[in-house]
Structure 1
Amino acid sequence: MTVDDQANPSAEHPRPAYVSSADLTSSFDAFYKDARERLLLQTFALTGDLAVARSAVREAFVVAWHHWRKVERLPEPESAVRPDAWRKALRRASTRPWHRKKDLDEETRRTLDALGALPVVQRKALLLTQLAAVTMDEMAHEIGLPTEAAERELQHGAAHFATALEIPTSAIPLALNALADATRSVTWPRVTIIRRAGAARRRTHTVIGAAAAVVALVAGGAVATDSTGVRPTLDREDVPAAGGPPPAGPAITTLPDTALVPVDALRQAVRGRGWQLGTTTDNSTGNGLVLPCQPARYADPQGTAAWVRTFRDGAQPKAPRDVVQVAEASSNEQRALRTYRHARRWFATCPSPDEDATQVPRVQLVSTSDLPGVGDQSTLFVLRSRPEATTYVVGVARSGLFTTVTSLATSMPAARANRAGVARLLATAVTRICALPDAGGCADPNPVPVPRTPLPAGEVPGMLSEIDLPPITPDPGPWVGTPAAKLTEDRIDAGAIGCDTVHLSGTFRNKAIQGNEFRTFVFSGADLPPQVGLTQTVGALPAGAAGGFVARFREQMTACPDLDATTGTEVVELLSTGKGPQALSAWHLSTALPGDRTVEYDVAVLRQGTAVSVLVYVAAPKAPMANDDFVALAQRALERLGRTAPYDPS
């Protein structure tokens, strides 16, 4: 599941014991429409046989409707449908079927060749993590290996696949998602046909099962009555009286405060003898906001228990450190999964004004990492506060019905933040919790953070959000973004710079630029010239034209000083990498104006497959952006750009 992938437990109501047929039908119809394309792409990538993949996915949906009352209650119904589709497809697929297909392009054939060369286990591991976006533990469970062994298979598979295609491992998601061009033409049966087939399957299984049960009971002599015709019961069996007390409700999950991290364990994980225990409370007093970006008291408002424990290291008064641990217990695994995702979303979005107009984040998301081997699921974030110059390293993990967060606040620069220490601290927290009856996975005591793309943020996941933007010194106030809007010919001045460059509007090489949008970020309430701010434009082109756009933009930036010699424009290249499906170039420009004035620009062009973007930051003497910060911002934009819809040639 892809982040987005975050459900808000505060917006959920406890699920009733009985779900109406109409609700089941509605939820299945929505699931069929939402999941079929993803499952087809994954199954096609697994087998290389589009006809077999379509048939297998269709039949898996039929089986899902047969069992929908159970499947619908799963946190991720796709996790039940996908293995069934894959089993069916692997049984039917022939060897290298794509070599007999005349309508596949060369790039698709190369990708399928590289996948087909992998052992099935490595292929599954690669597709689960890159196309299904499951966690390491979920991937390991689905391929039937211990987590450590599954991670090794994934690493080997990714290395061989990238080598075969001559691409960096960071470009693997792009290569796999490009297979969607081959699946886009598939037509699907109406959902009513799927449901009818599932209902017929259910009736058939019911008749066969009932007949088999009767035969077994009669043959075994289990059908017996006494002389009055009433079936006897065992003497010890209690027969409940009508109108008796209702059955007991679900057991309350127990989360004692002894399961929290003690100060001695903190000193070992994060290092330092100055750590002192602060308070331990149930977080029921005050505003309850004890973590950066935390918008609500609890991640699970209907949870069964919650604790907050604080620590402080005052050994260096000029550079104090603070640690907070939050732990919550949920009533069932589905709610625990939602609680984990809800807590994770706090730090992934912080939240953005797109989600809450009253919130203007003053925190930048520096990095996101997975923590393989820590609990059932875990993620590590590095954030930095713009006004206070504080760095936060935050770990979020789930083990069974329990979710825990560990947060370190320090004045250390983000680049030197103690990721490893907080990873060890989170592992310690999970290890203590996993001894409880309702817990799940435990933890490797020395987990290694694995960088990953950031989780979706904002209304346009393929564009930058406020949480991505770096601090400016001196602080001019919070960044605030305008809504994304279509870039039309009368708005091509948006993000204009002192050099003549191509823009993402209209056509390029006689190809219409699709999905072209722009968004501008400015400083709220700052006393700055109106042109100061950051503008991002995005659009999609066919792969060849997208590469041509980047190449043309680079040529124009290189030629800019010569063409603009009268005004004295200076261009300094900050970074240039990639000439294939993934590319990025960034420059710093200085243009001399009359009256001894100078305008400073930072410019970047980037490409992720068929998606292209241009970034422009117009600076001011009171609002400069450091070169390293702009390069990091362009790299973040490249990561976000991967979520842009691919070019549609139809």
Structure 2
Amino acid sequence: MKAGTAGGDRGTGVRDEPSTPSETEWDEQPLCADDDTDEPDPAPSPLTPGQAFDALYAYCAPTLVQQTYLLTGRRQCARDAVEGAFQLAWQRWPEVAVDRDPAGWVRAAAHEYALSPWHRLRPRVLRRHHEPQPSDPVGRALLSALLELPPPYRRTLLLYDGVGLDLPDTAAETEASTPATAGRLLHARATVAARLPEPVAPGDLSRLLASLPAGIHPGPVEPAALRARADQHARRWTHAVIAFTTLLLTTTALTLHTAPDHYESPVPRGTPIRGIPPKPAPGPLSASQQALRAKLRSEAAAGPERLHPEAR
């Protein structure tokens, strides 16, 4: 291009070579770089994947911890769910970065993590800790009513009245049809309203859900530490898959080496078997064996003497 030629002829005519991608980590490289543009881009420099992840964490983590607390009722479980969701997001960052709603992607992962029965069975979660309850009776009744709802109903009520999604988006995120989502929402609202000490309008329910998890904050883990944990977890899984694949290939090769390579029909009954030496005949009896045989032959073969031996 002419613009490129003119740019190359300026000054000494020598361009400074940009640093190659191999000199820096992939999460420190810009998300996009366009060196062939004819006009300079006045926009700021693009974020690196690490910077974009940190910004997403700072924007979503406080709200997600409050949401997952409403789903679980435990502060530590809520923090673990948010950290697990962001670790999964970093492992799948090429997919999350181009998603039309990265915050929604992480929110769905955090909700599924919080409601998964497998994560609630961990020893860290099973430990009994004193969970401080809300100070007002309305908040305590609301939290108790939420935790008694089935998980799909609880999540539907949180997404619609707590997050503010519309009915189709709530149905899509909970993987249910729109009529089923509407039925879950009505049932959850009626159940919660019956448990509250005072009547609450549907519009006030959003305000109560927003003010209920007051004082819940993310853990002290930094986004960089989450990214490091996610990379370490991915490396462990990669090593485990490689070890399992190696073991499977070794077992398969050993089986192929030791298995018979042709069919051997079974020997029919009554067919003499060749190659087996005949059973040896018994040798002559010793003196003690001959004396025992003579004694047995001299005694009666039947009668009470055989049944009642003499006592000596």
Q: Does 1:70 align with 2:101?
A: no
Query: What is the CA-CA distance between 1:183 and the residue it aligns to?
Result: 1.1
Query: What is the CA-CA distance between 1:154 and the residue it aligns to?
Result: 1.1
Partner SS, residue 181 of structure 1: coil
What's 1:174 paired with?
A: 207
The match for 1:87 among 98, 104, 112 is: 112
Query: What is the CA-CA distance between 1:78 and the residue it aligns to?
Result: 3.2
Partner SS, residue 48 of structure 2: helix
Q: Distance in 2 between matches of 1:99 and 1:114?
A: 20
Q: Distance in 2 between matches of 1:103 and 1:136?
A: 31
The match for 1:104 among 134, 157, 161 is: 134
What's 2:173 paired with?
A: 142
What's 2:277 paired with?
A: none
The match for 1:29 among 51, 54, 58 is: 54
Q: Does 1:190 align with 2:215?
A: no
Query: What is the CA-CA distance between 1:99 and the residue it aligns to?
Result: 10
Count residues with an aligned counterpart: 204
Query: What is the CA-CA distance between 1:146 and the residue it aligns to?
Result: 1.5
Amino acid at match of 1:26: Q
TM-score, normalising length: structure 1: 0.29
Q: Does 1:161 align with 2:166?
A: no
Inter-CA distance 70–220: structure 2 relative to 1 (3 Å threshold): farther
Inter-CA distance 172–93: structure 2 relative to 1 (3 Å threshold): farther
Q: Distance in 1 between matches of 2:174 and 2:240?
A: 32
Amino acid at match of 1:32: Y
Partner SS, residue 134 of structure 1: coil
Partner SS, residue 64 of structure 2: helix
Q: How does 1:468-479 map to 2 (within 5 A)?
A: none
Kept in 2: contact 1:49–1:93 (CA 8 A): no
Query: What is the CA-CA distance between 1:141 and the residue it aligns to?
Result: 2.6
Partner SS, residue 180 of structure 1: coil
Kept in 2: contact 1:49–1:98 (CA 8 A): no
Q: How does 1:47-446 map to 2 (within 5 A)?
A: 47-90=72-115, 91=117, 92-93=119-120, 100-102=130-132, 104-106=134-136, 107-165=138-196, 166-184=199-217, 186-213=218-245
What's 1:616 paired with?
A: none
Kept in 2: contact 1:99–1:109 (CA 8 A): no
Amino acid at match of 2:224: T
Inter-CA distance 219–69: structure 2 relative to 1 (3 Å threshold): farther
Kept in 2: contact 1:131–1:177 (CA 8 A): yes
Q: Larger Rg: 1 or 2? A: 2
Query: What is the CA-CA distance between 1:64 and the residue it aligns to?
Result: 1.5
Kept in 2: contact 1:140–1:147 (CA 8 A): yes
Amino acid at match of 2:65: L
Render the CA deviation track for 1:393-427: whole Å, top value 9, x for unaligned: xxxxxxxxxxxxxxxxxxxxxxxxxxxxxxxxxxx
Inter-CA distance 82–199: structure 2 relative to 1 (3 Å threshold): same
The more displaced of 82-91 and 72-81 is: 82-91
Inter-CA distance 17–123: structure 2 relative to 1 (3 Å threshold): farther
Query: What is the CA-CA distance between 1:209 and the residue it aligns to?
Result: 3.1
Query: What is the CA-CA distance between 1:30 and the residue it aligns to?
Result: 0.4
Q: Distance in 1 between matches of 2:181 and 2:202?
A: 18
Kept in 2: contact 1:115–1:161 (CA 8 A): yes
Render the CA deviation track for 1:433-466: whole Å, top value 9, x for unaligned: xxxxxxxxxxxxxxxxxxxxxxxxxxxxxxxxxx
Q: How much identity, in percent, do the aligned residues show?
A: 27
Q: Distance in 2 between matches of 1:169 and 1:140?
A: 19
Kept in 2: contact 1:104–1:182 (CA 8 A): no
Amino acid at match of 1:192: A
Looking at both structures, which has the greater relative contact order when contacts are Cα pairs under 8 Å and sequence separation is at least 6?
2
What's 2:65 paired with?
A: 40
Amino acid at match of 1:64: A
Query: What is the CA-CA distance between 1:178 and the residue it aligns to?
Result: 0.5
Where is the helix percentage greater, Structure 1 or Structure 2? 2
Query: What is the CA-CA distance between 1:134 and the residue it aligns to?
Result: 2.9
Query: What is the CA-CA distance between 1:53 and the residue it aligns to?
Result: 0.8
Where is the strand percentage greater, Structure 1 or Structure 2? 1
Q: Distance in 2 between matches of 1:218 and 1:98?
A: 46
Q: Distance in 2 between matches of 1:180 and 1:126?
A: 15
Partner SS, residue 233 of structure 2: helix
Structure 1: runs of 5 or more not aligned: 1-14, 222-650
Amino acid at match of 2:188: G
Q: What do you get for the CA RMSD once the two structures are aligned?
A: 3.4
Query: What is the CA-CA distance between 1:216 and the residue it aligns to?
Result: 5.8
Kept in 2: contact 1:128–1:134 (CA 8 A): yes
Query: What is the CA-CA distance between 1:199 and the residue it aligns to?
Result: 1.2
Query: What is the CA-CA distance between 1:124 and the residue it aligns to?
Result: 0.8
TM-score, normalising length: structure 2: 0.56
Amino acid at match of 2:221: P
Q: How does 1:534-613 map to 2 (within 5 A)?
A: none
Kept in 2: contact 1:62–1:197 (CA 8 A): yes
Structure 2: runs of 5 or more not aligned: 1-30, 35-44, 254-312
Q: Distance in 1 between matches of 2:112 and 2:132?
A: 26
Render the CA deviation track for 1:74-116: whole Å, top value 9, x for unaligned: 1122333334333333335599x99943463134312201212
Query: What is the CA-CA distance between 1:48 and the residue it aligns to?
Result: 1.0
Render the CA deviation track for 1:184-209: whole Å, top value 9, x for unaligned: 4x543111111110111121222233
Inter-CA distance 134–216: structure 2 relative to 1 (3 Å threshold): farther
Amino acid at match of 1:51: Q
Query: What is the CA-CA distance between 1:39 and the residue it aligns to?
Result: 1.0
Q: Distance in 1 between matches of 2:185 and 2:128?
A: 24
What's 2:280 paired with?
A: none
